[in-house]
Amino acid sequence: MKLKVLATALALLATSACVYADSEALNRIERLEQSQSTQHQLLVQNSSPSADASKAPVSQKKPEKKALEPTVDQAKAAIIVANILTRFEYDKKPLDENMSHAVFKEYLKMMDPAKLYLLKSDIDEFEPVRQNIHTMLMTGRLAPAFAMFEKYRDRVEQRFDHALALLDKPFDFDVEESFDLDRKKAEWSTSEEQINDLWRKRIKNDYLRLKLAGSKDSVIVEKLKKRYINNRNQIMRMNGEDVAEMFLNAYGNSTDPHTSYYSPSSAKNFDVQISLSVDGIGAVLQKRDEYGQIREVVPGGPAAKSGKLNPGDRIVAVGQGESGPMEDVVDWRLDDIVKLIRGKRGTTVRIEIIPAERGMEGKHTTVSIVRQKVTMEDQAARYRIFEAGSNGDKRKVGIITIPSFYEDFDAKARGESNYKSLTRDVRVILEKLDKEGVDGVLLDLRNNGGGSLSEAANLSGLFLGGPNPIVQVSTAEGTTSNVRSATGKLVWNKPVGVMVNRISASASEIFAAVIQDYGRGVVIGDPTWGKGSVQTIRGLDEFLRRHEGEELGSLKWTIQKFFRVNGSSTQEKGVVPDIVFPSAFDPTELGESSYENAMPWSKIAPTKYSGYDSLAEKIGPLKTMHEQRTQQSDSWKLLLDELAYARKTSDKKVISLRYATRLEEREKMSMEQSQFEERRKKLGESDVNSFRLDDGLAAGEGNLTQELADEKKRKESLDIAIKEAANIVADLAKQK
């Protein structure tokens, strides 16, 4: 099995890519095929388990701990990844001893970021691996990395078994001692006694959090046992595919923050995320104890139409077709359950459930559902109309929330006429808003991490017309070209606002930057992430000359740097809004500049483009009106006070483990938060983002019904910042 020879230049996200490997790399793959079986396991990555708040009994059952060995396909994947990244990544770095040390450090950080499991002696034992990762990758010899994981897995089992034993003994909450919450700079424990004491304090803090929230001792012990067993079993269920993915990701992340390897299972999940569509039943699952549980039913999907599956239902078994055998899936990994339920559209799947309303001892029910293509509309662009403005002079502002820049690449490639696309969805929304007489639009890109580059370009075209240059892309060799919006007429010619925050990245930054550079609209919020690079993603089996059913996963790697039409890069600096809002994020902790190996900012010559001259002179007056309005706004004062309070409370790195001390702190916090809640209520502001006292629960342990209600409320409500951003768009509309 040989790698393809480079036939065409690497291109953008939607184009094909071929990679050249030298004869030695080809020989390595051939030797692997000759010496080992080509059979491989098609496994999946587990999602984070979460315990349930119900009274289901605690199962002490441990998953079978199997020896993990890399497969031939995983070895091939390593060789191909090493050849791609050393030859074709934008910022090529040699695969040498220095890189070996960097990968080793990253691999340990992925396994044990808080240094809670491994000992210093374990790290010393791994020293030969640290020195030789570069040769391991080039030869596909992954066994040492797997051995490292197995040692880590043993330590995880050991630590949680120790934790379970500690729960059978009482804690002394009168002694004054503390627990360090921030372990980023912690050293590895040098002895069992030292790490056991660390765990004693960790468990004591978990116990104290629940105790302060009002739980009884017996309930606390039961809940923590569930949590620790689930956490232990999550790691013990990890398989060879998970380990290979983590190790190759450690390498990818060491070369570039945005280079990632996807195992075969993860690659399928990535496709679902970017396309917002999947063939299945239309249900979102989560792990609760040993069960897969229905978290949400997608509106309009097969499950919703059947009326027989509901949030909270627990899955017991899954069968294929009308009469295929039922497979017991209790205590399975969540992704393995999902893999059984997904399948070819038009086929039938049978699911045995414990209905939520019947409780854990209730009668089981079997539901038959025909799989169909399901589109996740809840993750697509959505809008609402808001009456914004000051002094009784209101304007209708359409607020369009864009969670990601999605596009169904596969459906588009197949020539389907109605493939899922952000630009198509927003075009429909804009046409509706125009018919409803909206005066301006505000596109909310907060927390939008990006997506398809072509969607960023084409979405821009709705507001600029086309074809217009949207962004410049440059290769490592210095070749620069323009990415243009699709040919088409201007869809929206009224005022535009774009709201961003520190989490807005990549495609979000391209869109915000081009709207700002053309003077087409006002950008509002806080400075963005600062990602200024382009990645391509390819299935690694494409690089084999003869593909015989291998599933090697996919690689996403950096191939270009992008620049604004004015020549400036968003790399590290991000997009600075025209009107800056106070931020909830610490830029030193979050953003491109926080990466040790981030590419530096740079600049190239601007490209030719024709902007809108009228907006520049309006920014000053818009800022003045914003400042005058917010100085008189009790809601804005509330926002500033809440941000200051959040920063103050989050800065605490060390916490007391004495009950009386923590109770006093909690009572003070309760009083402070009640004051914020009263101010929100008096001002008519939504309480969905208000402060809440710590309930001591981990993710997934709360009440599912309440969680879903909060999510729904969060989607439907408008926060203080977005309403002020809409006011700014209304001000802009008045200046036309």
pLDDT band for 59, please (50, 70, 90 cuts): low
Q: Compute how many other C-beta atoms are within 10 angstroms of the C-beta atom of residue 247.
A: 28
Phi, psi of 478, rounded to the nearest 5 degrees: 95, 5
Residues whose CB falls within 8 Å of the CB of residue 459, separated by 6 or more in sequence, listed in order = 405, 422, 423, 426, 511
What is the rounded average pLDDT of the residues 634-655?
Answer: 92
> Mean pLDDT over all residues of the chain?
89
First-residue to last-residue Cα distance in the chain: 65
Whether the predicted pLDDT of 683 surpasses 70? yes
Res 473: pLDDT: 96
What is the rounded average pLDDT of the residues 54-72?
Answer: 74
pLDDT in tens, 294-321: 999 999 999 999 999 999 999 999 999 9
Whether the predicted pLDDT of 20 surpasses 50? no
Res 41: pLDDT: 23
Res 723: pLDDT: 97
What's the Cα-to-Cα distance from 731 to each of 388, 522, 526, 603, 728, rounded to whole Å? 9, 11, 20, 33, 5
Res 14: pLDDT: 28
Res 699: pLDDT: 83
Res 689: pLDDT: 74
pLDDT band for 362, please (50, 70, 90 cuts): confident
Whether the predicted pLDDT of 652 surpasses 90? no
Whether the predicted pLDDT of 358 surpasses 50? yes
Whether the predicted pLDDT of 643 surpasses 90? yes
Q: What is the DSSP letter of 352?
A: E
Whether the predicted pLDDT of 58 surpasses 70? no
Whether the predicted pLDDT of 35 surpasses 60? no
Res 312: pLDDT: 94
Res 530: pLDDT: 97
On whether the CB atoms of residues 601 and 707 are closer than 8 A, the answer is: no
Q: What string of H, E and C letters represents the secondary structure of 614-664?
A: CCHHHHHHHHHHHHHHHHCCHHHHHHHHHHHHHHHHHCCCEEECCHHHHHH
Element (H, E) at 277: strand 277-280
In CATH, the architecture of 378-734 is Alpha-Beta Complex (3.90)
pLDDT band for 391, please (50, 70, 90 cuts): confident
Res 52: pLDDT: 35
pLDDT band for 547, please (50, 70, 90 cuts): low
3-state secondary structure of 367: strand
3-state secondary structure of 554: strand
pLDDT band for 520, please (50, 70, 90 cuts): very high
Whether the predicted pLDDT of 700 surpasses 90? no
pLDDT band for 48, please (50, 70, 90 cuts): very low
Euclidean distance between CA atoms 495 and 438, whole angstroms: 10
Least confident of 372-376, 402-406, 535-539, 611-615: 611-615
Catalytic amino acids? Answer: 506, 517, 531
In CATH, the architecture of 277-375 is Roll (2.30)
Element (H, E) at 199: helix 192-212
Whether the predicted pLDDT of 487 surpasses 90? no
* β 291-297/283-288 pair status: antiparallel
Whether the predicted pLDDT of 586 surpasses 90? no
What is the rounded average pLDDT of the residues 106-121?
Answer: 98
Domains 277-375 and 378-734 share a fold: no
pLDDT in tens, 426-438: 999 999 999 999 9
pLDDT band for 392, please (50, 70, 90 cuts): confident
> What's the residue count for the chain?
736
Res 402: pLDDT: 98
Can you give the residue ranges of every domain in the chain? 23-255, 277-375, 378-734
Euclidean distance between CA atoms 268 and 259, whole angstroms: 17
Res 127: pLDDT: 96
Whether the predicted pLDDT of 201 surpasses 80? yes
Whether the predicted pLDDT of 191 surpasses 70? yes
Whether the predicted pLDDT of 690 surpasses 90? no
Res 56: pLDDT: 44
What is the rounded average pLDDT of the residues 204-214?
Answer: 98
Residue with tokens 């008519």: 684
What is the rounded average pLDDT of the residues 60-86?
Answer: 92
Res 688: pLDDT: 78
